[in-house]
Copies of this chain bind each other. A is one copy, B any other.
Amino acid sequence: MTAGSPGNGAENERDGPRQIKSVRTAATVIDVIKQHQGGSLAEISRELELTKGTVHTYLQTLVECGFVTREDGEYRLSFQFIALGEHVRNETDLYMAGHNEVDELAERTGEYAHLIGEERGRETVLYESRGEFAVAMDYHLRMRETPQHLHDTAAGKAILAHVPVDRRDEILANQEFERQTANTITDAAELRETLADIRERGYALNDEEEIRGMRAVGAPVLDPDETVVGAVSVTAPTSRLKDERFRTEMPERVMETANLIEVNLETARFDS
């Protein structure tokens, strides 16, 4: 090797900092298993373009580490991830400060209420509470299984509106605004305007921008020093969320909850 690239065999990763190639590969293996919802050695190795022998070694390792299990010839992600997820949740101040308030919000509104966290420009559902009128939906399965973009949900827009400008620009630059419905905002300029409004009013609306027939109202949760730590939202069918209720009543409720959570965050210290 002509020593041009950094000691590493970095061909794809543009000379970024040095990394452990095997760990990248292992992460890909996990991802393939996730996408395919489990699979055989042959399937996985075909997908990865690595020899069966190699993939076999990776799977042995991942099983041994407890990330993957094998059941009648099929490899699947193990329950360990459920436990780890729970651990991360309980470590997250926003969750500890907010889940009871979100329960309350769901109860008072009768609809779905969500507590949303942000990381790397994506949103993750930290908690979901279902009010009595909220019917079981599959919609949230998808959004809970992978961190989602921020441009097409009420909570996401609420967060985006309160992120420091430089970081916001970075986030927006690094993703396309995928169109989900006819109402999805896909234009950067338009989104920026909306975000300015949201910042002024203190809440965000989602008018069937993510899912047809569903509206949502979201409000940011801010740190004492005005940093966004996440958002709260309520989601309901358009038929139950319109006019006054959509534009006045629900925003007030949601902002109230967000405020309560902010207070909890300031008062209680969740450090162990």
- Chain A residues with a Cβ under 8 A of chain B: 16-27, 34, 37-38, 57-58, 60-62, 64-67, 69, 76-92, 117, 119-120, 124-126, 141, 144-147, 272
Q: Let me know if A23 and B77 touch, CB within 8 A.
A: no
Closest chain B residue, CB of each to CB of A29 = B23
Please tell me how many copies of the chain the complex holds: 2
Closest to A79 in B: B124
Interface pairs (20), CB distance under 8 Å: A17-B60, A19-B60, A19-B61, A20-B26, A22-B23, A23-B26, A23-B65, A24-B64, A26-B26, A27-B66, A78-B120, A79-B119, A79-B126, A80-B124, A81-B88, A82-B124, A82-B125, A87-B146, A90-B141, A90-B145
Tell me which residues across on chain B come within 8 A of A34, comparing CB atoms: 84, 87
Q: Which residues does chain B contribute within 8 Å of A83, judged by CB atoms? A: 85, 124, 144-147
Chain B contacts for A20, CB-based, 8 A: 22, 25-26, 57-58, 61
Which 8 residue pairs of A and B lie closest in terms of their CB atoms, listed nearest first?
A85-B85, A22-B22, A79-B124, A27-B65, A19-B61, A82-B85, A87-B145, A81-B84
Q: Is the beta-carbon distance between A79 and B147 smaller than 8 angstroms? A: yes
Chain B residue at smallest Cβ distance from A118: B79
Q: CA–CA, A141 to B145, complex, Å?
A: 22
Give bound CA distance, A69 to B117, whole Å.
13
- Contact yes or no, A147 B80, CB < 8 A: yes
Complex-state Cα separation, A84 to B145, whole angstroms: 6
In the bound complex, residues from chain B placing their C-beta under 8 Å from that of A65 are 23-24, 27
Q: Which residue of B has the minimal Cβ distance to A60?
A: B17
A67 and B27 in contact (CB under 8 A), knowing A37-B272, A90-B145, A147-B83?
yes
Distance of A18 Cα from B38 Cα, bound (Å): 22
Q: Which of A69, A84, A126 has the most CB of B within 10 A?
A: A84
Residues of B within 8 A of A89 (CB): 82
B77 engages A87 (CB within 8 Å) = yes
The residue of chain B having its C-beta at the shortest distance from the C-beta of A86 within the complex is B144
Return A9 CB to nearest CB of chain B, in Å.
Answer: 14
On whether the beta carbons of A119 and B69 are closer than 8 Å, the reply is yes
